[in-house]
Amino acid sequence: MGGSSRRAHPTTHVGLLLVAVFAAALAVTTMTCVDAGVTSAYRRQLLASVDMPLDSDVFRVPPGRNAPQQVHITQGDLEGSAVIVSWTTADEPGSSKVLYGTSKDKLNKSAKGSYTRYQFYNYTSGYIHHCVLKDLMYDTTYYYTVGVGQTERQFWFKSPPKVGPDVPYTFGLIGDLGQTYDSNITLSHYDSNSNSGALLFVGDLSYADDYPFHDNVRWDTWSRFIERSAAYQPWIWTVGNHEIDFAPEIGETEPFKPFLHRFPTPYKASNSTAPFWYSIKRASAHIIVLASYSAYG
């Protein structure tokens, strides 16, 4: 795995997904006789490390009036020709529009999304925007801008090649990331591998639930922390036990509430009935996402 940064809180939820992912990887490997080899000798340290403090550089709010923060993308359809762009504005809704295009200085397409908010005990979220960019060309670099009309921020991503039986593609794999100093080292190590086109995130995201009242401010800090990668390549989400956020003792009885508001998945494209269960195709891989902490039908 790319990095289990939270040894202090081991969890065991990822078995099913890993079986699915590895089965897919194995099938591809066997068919094409590819040996990806060893990509690096990196090993995270075994000792548990502590969470980065709230005033850490990686949690900094971007400057500017109501500036979009916590920008991240995920695949938006079954075969990779759509992307869901998500971001949060803190002070007022602002625009849910995304401007995008293939030329950095001429974003001649636009898509309109919408925003949501939620409360968790005494925490109130910012305005969480989600916008789907559809009908993208394959294997193409797209630039996109959020914060239209206020503080605009521009990012880019590369769409995947068209799905096929023998299409090389490199995935990253991270789970259990959290927001410790070691989480930052894990992410920096991942960033340094420029080959990877998308990240399979195998559950346990922010660990906000370790805090009293599941302090959801730690969901915001986590999402700002991962922006440096997740705004530029899709992170494919699976939930683990740390996303359940079921806390009847403080009146919070809707499982997965923070996750569901913040991290959309393209589950409808695979005819799934719930965001925790879905599949996507990307290059030569058919990735099946299963969630052992949610009921299924």
Ligand X SMILES: *[C@@H]1O[C@H](CO)[C@@H](O)[C@H](O)[C@H]1NC(C)=O
Q: Which amino acid is residue 96, in one-letter code? A: S
Q: Measured from the CB of residue 55, what is the shortest distance to ligand X in angstroms?
A: 9
**CB of residue 123 to ligand X, shortest distance in Å:** 6
Segment interacting with ligand X, rule: CB under 6 A, options 85-93, 103-111, 164-172, 199-207: 103-111
Single out the residue of 70, 184, 196, 216 in contact with ligand X (rule: CB under 6 A).
Answer: 184
Whole-angstrom distance, CA of residue 83 vs CA of residue 56: 30
Enumerate residues 256-295 that contact ligand X by CB under 6 A.
Answer: 270-271
The answer to whether 231 and 155 have CB atoms below 8 angstroms apart is: yes
Among 16, 97, 102, 246, binds ligand X (CB under 6 A): 102
Taking contact as CB under 6 A, which single stretch among the options 22-30, 37-45, 95-103, 238-246 is the one that binds ligand X?
A: 95-103
Contact characters 117-156, ligand X, x per CB under 6 A: -----xx---------------------------------
Task: Name the burial class of residue 206, with classes exposed (0-12), middle (13-18) and buried (19+) by CB atoms within 10 angstroms of its CB.
Answer: buried
Q: Which is nearer to ligand X, 17 or 78 (CB)?
A: 78
Instruction: Name the segment binding ligand X (CB under 6 A); options: 54-62, 158-166, 196-204, 241-249.
Output: 54-62
Both tokens of residue 173?
């794999």
- Of residues 213 and 246, the one with the C-beta less far from ligand X: 213
Of the listed pieces 39-47, 50-58, 134-142, 143-151, which binds ligand X according to CB under 6 A? 50-58
> Judged by CB under 6 A, does residue 188 bind ligand X?
yes
Residue 63: count of CB within 10 angstroms of its CB: 7
Q: For residue 246, which phi and psi values (nearest 5 degrees)?
A: -95, 110
**Binds ligand X (CB under 6 A): choice among 60, 65, 104, 106:** 106
- Interaction between residue 56 and ligand X (CB under 6 A): yes
Helix pair angle (181-191, 217-230), 10° resolution: 20
Question: Using CA atoms, how far apart are residues 140 and 249, in angstroms rounded to an integer?
Answer: 49
Neighbours of 124 (CB within 10 A): 10
In angstroms, give the least distance from the CB of 33 to ligand X.
29
Q: Which two tokens stand for residue 282?
A: 């990307």
Per-residue binding string, ligand X, 198-237, x by CB under 6 A, is ---------------x------------------------
Binding segment for ligand X among 134-142, 181-189, 196-204, 247-255 (CB under 6 A)?
Answer: 181-189
How many residues touch ligand X under the rule CB under 6 A: the total is 18
Q: What is d(CA 268, CA 249) in angstroms, rounded to the nearest whole number?
A: 33
Q: Residue numbers of the site for ligand X (CB under 6 A)?
A: 52, 56-58, 78, 101-103, 106, 108, 122-123, 181, 184, 188, 213, 270-271
